[in-house]
Chain A
Amino acid sequence: MANEVILLDFWPSMFGMRTRIALREKGIEFEYRDEDLWNKSPLLLETNPVHKKIPVLIHNGKPVCESTIQVQYIDEVWSDKNPILPSDPYQRAQARFWVDFIDKKMYDAQRKVWWTKGEEQETGKKEFIELLKTLESELRDKTYFGGDDFGYVDIGLIGFYSWFHACEKYGNLNIESECPKLIAWAKTCMQRESVAKSLPDSEKVIKFVTEIRKKFMIE
């Protein structure tokens, strides 16, 4: 049966980036459709009626929602190459734990850095750096979070790296000086074609953040 894969996404979304990377790691052809989140398409509303959010992966007409669930789905359907989750149950549980940690904490912490001001921003910056340091200490001296092979936790985290320069600009931070190992890890990931193709250029993200701030933030 021919595989028809459509991804409803929004180019700056760190969550959408996960699914893009997973599809590319497996060498799957897919149709990428960029959504206007202020004017959501009927297809998006129909395929994700519960949350009305991107990304939505539509495989042969059947929708899968939630980026981490999509990555696991892709790993299970196309299990013949480039495994994303480890095969050992304990290692799998550890990988799931760290992606869950990233899901619970990263977005809100990062958002506080580029979206808030004053005391709220200062607290946000401290939390964000602490978070990155926790992840860095989990990484230790490994190439990737899972060891020698690129995998689930790397995919779960790397999308946020495309927003780092925007955080540094608006948060007045130097992430590399705080977390050099994590930045080294990110640069290693960026050398993979699946990652380089799936992450937007940092400058494009900075421009996007600048526009959002102009539109919605009270200066």
Chain B
Amino acid sequence: MATDEVKVIGAWASPFVMRPRIALNLKSVPYEFLQETFGAKSELLLKSNPVHKKIPVLLHADKPVCESNIIVEYVDETWSASGPSMLPSTPYDRAIARFWAAYIDEKWFPSLKSILKAEGEEEKKAVLAQVEEGNALLEKAFIDCSKGKPFFNGEHIGYLDIAFGCFLAWLRVTELAGGHKLIDEVKTPSLSKWAERFCNDPAVKPVMPETATLAEFAKKIFAKPTA
């Protein structure tokens, strides 16, 4: 069953799509990447995720798994023999990893997105403050979770590294657009070093878009329509 065909329906620019791709790479699982066209949803996507109609979707022997963090846990459990565990070994540490992954999706990423959409200096300042507050929390979370090791998950990249690290390209695009650093050696020294390790990892590098390429793409999709 574990050797059955694996496909990922997604798009190169989506940080959520990066999550299952990194997980599959970490477990050395070959997969076919089916790219969706921006602005139009394929029949296969609509059939495989009828509830949300969103990417990513993992198809394992044609059986769909939806929701990026759920897919990562599925990959970890299904190919448990093919690589180190992506979640910590104790129930408490797993609860902590899941807590921060949920925080990132519910609070941190929405505030990061608002920076790019913010209009006017006041609004920009307010959302920036929110993101920086979040980064300070995540800096402390990294120190607590990593316990001196290179990643949130310890020696190897894991669930929380993936949940957060997938946003790094978009974070760099946001920094460029706004002209201010969000993760750097002064404000978030541990995260800054972790970010470099994460992005250079062979499981991550092939699927993380170049900042310049992503910035061009961002310009296109955030362009205000002409009257």
Known: A69-B102, A89-B77, A101-B51. A96 touches B95 (CB 8 A): no
The answer to whether A69 and B99 touch across the interface, beta carbons within 8 angstroms, is yes
- Interface of chain A residues 108 through 162 with chain B (CB within 8 A): 134
Size range of the interface on B?
Answer: 20 to 34
Q: A64's contact among B63, B65, B66, B95, by CB below 8 Å, is which?
A: B95
Contact with B along A53-95 (1 / 0, CB 8 A): 0000001001011100110110011000000000001101100
- Interface of chain B residues 44 through 74 with chain A (CB within 8 A): 51-52, 60, 63, 65-67, 70-71, 73-74
A211 contacts the other chain (CB 8 A): no
The answer to whether B99 and A65 touch across the interface, beta carbons within 8 angstroms, is yes
Task: Look across to chain A and name the residue whose beta carbon is closest to the beta carbon of B77.
Answer: A89
A218 contacts the other chain (CB 8 A): no
Known: A89-B77, A93-B71. A50 touches B137 (CB 8 A): yes
B200 contacts the other chain (CB 8 A): no
Contacting residues, chain A, for B65 (C-beta < 8 A): 90, 93, 97
From DSSP, what is the main secondary structure of chain B's interface residues? helix
The answer to whether B103 and A72 touch across the interface, beta carbons within 8 angstroms, is no
Contacting residues, chain A, for B73 (C-beta < 8 A): 92-93, 96
Cα A69 to Cα B103 with chains together (Å): 12
From DSSP, what is the main secondary structure of chain A's interface residues? helix
Cα A96 to Cα B137 with chains together (Å): 26
B91 contacts the other chain (CB 8 A): yes
- Interface of chain B residues 69 through 108 with chain A (CB within 8 A): 70-71, 73-74, 77-78, 91-92, 94-95, 98-99, 102-103
Q: B74's contact among A72, A89, A134, by CB below 8 Å, is which?
A: A89
Cα A144 to Cα B166 with chains together (Å): 36
CB distance from B133 to the nearest CB of A (A): 10
A4 contacts the other chain (CB 8 A): no
The answer to whether A66 and B99 touch across the interface, beta carbons within 8 angstroms, is yes
The answer to whether A100 and B98 touch across the interface, beta carbons within 8 angstroms, is no
The answer to whether A90 and B91 touch across the interface, beta carbons within 8 angstroms, is no
Cα A59 to Cα B77 with chains together (Å): 26
What would be 21 A-B contacts, judged by CB atoms less than 8 Å apart?
A: A50-B103, A50-B137, A62-B92, A64-B92, A66-B98, A70-B95, A72-B94, A73-B92, A73-B95, A89-B74, A89-B77, A90-B63, A92-B73, A92-B74, A93-B71, A93-B73, A97-B65, A97-B67, A100-B67, A100-B70, A101-B51
Chain B residues near A (Cβ < 8 Å): 51-52, 60, 63, 65-67, 70-71, 73-74, 77-78, 91-92, 94-95, 98-99, 102-103, 137
